[in-house]
């Protein structure tokens, strides 16, 4: 990608910027070059970044920052910090208006590392290392010796911190791939594309994809790939909070965000990281007018005192809050289990989905049969317990009670999943909601 128009030409420093083409559209691209003073950001660099982000917001086109930097320029003193503040404020002003994508291609230290946290999505290559406080400071303050890559390498941010959305050696290719699914700004919708994959394509293979044994696992990504156009699915944060899968795809030519429980990891239960990951993705989709399809198969929230002490309530509510606020078309498909609070926060009818679908074997209830019988029939003998559990399963562990109450709109054959999703997403594409005027929300974090 070649920059066509330079920005801030009278400013010298380690950052260059301009308007170019990426992902088939105009974008504002800023790059910091580590070959110059190890990419240390001066006051001038901060001003150039601020100018670039402001221009992207005014032109309503995406802002892309490709960075490798050792931090603020020590020789520039507090002026460098002031420039960083200008840049942070300008990038924050872009949030929810234009897509903000960043890529780390080398060491990104201190202030510049915090800028990565302002992005909607972050791409990192194998050379990337990002941290606020380096190994020496960590050792001085905590007495723990740690290496650069263990502290802030791409594996750490892909698996533990959740900073890295995409790991790749082709940074610009990954940025372009993401942009192909997004509109240029929040006032537009992603343009539909011409597809060769028929919208009336049946998916009979889905009938046998979920095992009959309720405790058996499967890979929910197989379901996604059978349903989406040409099997193409761009997964985001694939190694972070693996019990929830998030990513971009097209269904019937429309760009769509997918949120899916992953039974292969922790049985698809929700914990803090999974709730944060899904909530962040839902907010991103809602900001840029991407319909959300939620594939539900979860027995509930992961229990544990450590999780409760670390804020499971707040972060579980964060996911519910993100869905409840989302005004884009929302389709929920219950594949197998949907129990308790996890059923609620995975875009249930109560939270406000537009269409709720279920497969015939779906189990929608407060809890599973074993737990329910323990509460309802304490002290009964094992033989009677088995009978009671069977009765409970027959009466409650199916989609029909929810369907009778209007909480499930349609119980569908798995073979018709793609056909139905294409149809309802087309019907919902004209959805509009009147937003309440307010400065900002004060939701759970």
pLDDT (tens place) for every residue of the chain, 445 residues total: 544 555 555 445 688 889 999 988 899 999 987 666 666 888 888 899 999 999 999 999 999 999 998 876 666 678 778 888 999 999 999 999 999 999 999 999 988 899 999 999 999 999 999 999 888 888 889 888 998 899 999 999 999 999 999 999 999 999 999 999 999 999 999 988 988 999 999 999 999 999 988 889 999 999 999 999 999 999 999 999 999 999 999 999 999 999 999 999 999 999 999 999 999 999 999 999 999 999 999 999 999 999 999 999 999 999 999 999 999 999 999 999 999 899 999 999 999 999 999 999 999 988 877 777 677 777 677 777 777 767 777 777 889 999 999 999 999 999 999 999 999 999 998 888 777 677 677 778 7
CB 271 within 8 A of CB 231: no
Q: Give the distance, in angstroms, between the CA of residue 21 and the centroid of all CA atoms in the same chain.
A: 25
**C-alpha distances in angstroms, 151 versus 203, 277, 393, 431?**
44, 21, 48, 45
Q: Where are the domains of the chain?
A: 5-179, 204-362+398-428
3-state secondary structure of 302: coil
Residue 260, C-beta contacts closer than 8 angstroms, at least 6 positions apart: 220, 221, 223, 224, 244, 245, 246, 294, 295, 296, 297
CB 10 within 8 A of CB 44: no
Tell me how far apart the alpha carbons of residues 142 and 240 are, in angstroms, rounded to a whole number.
26
Would 5-179 and 204-362+398-428 be classified into the same CATH topology? yes
Q: Are strands 100-109 and 129-131 parallel, antiparallel or unpaired?
A: parallel
Tell me how far apart the alpha carbons of residues 307 and 142 are, in angstroms, rounded to a whole number.
24
* 5-179 classified as CATH 3.90.226.10: yes
Residue among 42, 40, 48 at smallest CA distance from 69: 40
Burial status of residue 381 (CB atoms within 10 A of its CB: 0-12, 13-18, 19 or more): exposed
pTM of the model: 0.92
Among the four given CATH numbers 3.40.50.10490, 3.30.499.10, 3.90.226.10, 3.40.47.10, the one describing domain 204-362+398-428: 3.90.226.10
3-state secondary structure of 197: coil
Tell me how far apart the alpha carbons of residues 192 and 181 are, in angstroms, rounded to a whole number.
9
| Residue matched to tokens 């995975």 | 346
The residue ranges of DSSP E strands in 272-409, in sequence order, are 292-298, 330-339, 355-358, 363-365
């Amino acid at each position: 990608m070649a920059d066509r128009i330079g920005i801030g030409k009278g400013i010298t420093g380690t950052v260059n910027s301009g308007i170019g083409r990426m992902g088939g559209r105009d974008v504002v691209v800023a790059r910091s070059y580590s070959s110059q003073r190890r990419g240390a950001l001066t006051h001038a660099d901060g001003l150039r970044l601020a100018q670039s982000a402001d221009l992207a917001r005014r032109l309503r086109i995406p802002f892309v920052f490709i960075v490798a930097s050792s931090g603020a320029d020590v020789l520039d003193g507090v002026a460098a910090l002031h420039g960083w503040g200008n840049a942070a404020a300008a990038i924050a002003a872009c949030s929810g208006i234009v897509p903000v994508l960043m890529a780390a291609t080398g060491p990104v230290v201190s202030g510049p590392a915090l800028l990565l946290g302002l992005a909607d999505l972050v791409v990192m290559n194998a050379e990337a290392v990002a941290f606020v406080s380096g190994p020496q400071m960590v050792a001085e303050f905590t007495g723990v010796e740690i290496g650069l890559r263990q502290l802030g390498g791409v594996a750490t941010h892909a698996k533990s911190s959740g900073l890295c959305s995409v790991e790749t050696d082709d940074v610009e290719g990954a940025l372009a791939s993401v942009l192909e699914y997004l509109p240029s700004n929040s006032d537009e919708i992603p343009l539909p594309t011409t597809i060769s994959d028929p919208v009336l394509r049946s998916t009979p293979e889905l009938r046998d994809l979920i095992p009959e044994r309720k405790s058996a696992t499967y890979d929910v990504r197989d379901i996604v790939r059978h349903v989406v156009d040409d099997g193409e699915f761009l997964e985001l944060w694939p190694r972070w909070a693996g019990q929830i899968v998030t990513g971009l795809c097209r269904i019937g030519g429309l760009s769509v965000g997918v949120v899916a429980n992953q039974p292969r990891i922790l049985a698809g239960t929700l914990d803090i990281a999974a709730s944060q990951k899904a909530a962040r993705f839902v907010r991103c989709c809602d900001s840029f007018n991407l319909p959300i399809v939620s594939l539900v198969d979860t027995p509930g929230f992961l229990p544990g005192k450590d999780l409760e002490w670390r804020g499971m309530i707040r972060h579980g509510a964060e996911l519910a809050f993100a869905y409840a606020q989302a005004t884009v078309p929302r389709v929920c498909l219950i594949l197998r289990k949907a129990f308790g609070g996890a059923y609620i926060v995975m875009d249930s009818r109560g939270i406000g989905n537009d269409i709720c679908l279920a497969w015939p074997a779906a189990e929608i209830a407060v809890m599973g049969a074993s737990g329910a019988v323990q509460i309802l029939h304490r002290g009964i003998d094992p033989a009677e317990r088995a009978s009671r559990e069977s009765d409970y399963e027959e009466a409650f562990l199916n989609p029909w009670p929810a369907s009778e109450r209007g909480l499930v709109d349609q119980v569908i054959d798995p073979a018709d999943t793609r056909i139905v999703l294409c149809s309802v997403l087309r019907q919902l594409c004209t959805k509009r909601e009147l937003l309440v005027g307010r400065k900002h929300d004060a939701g759970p974090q």
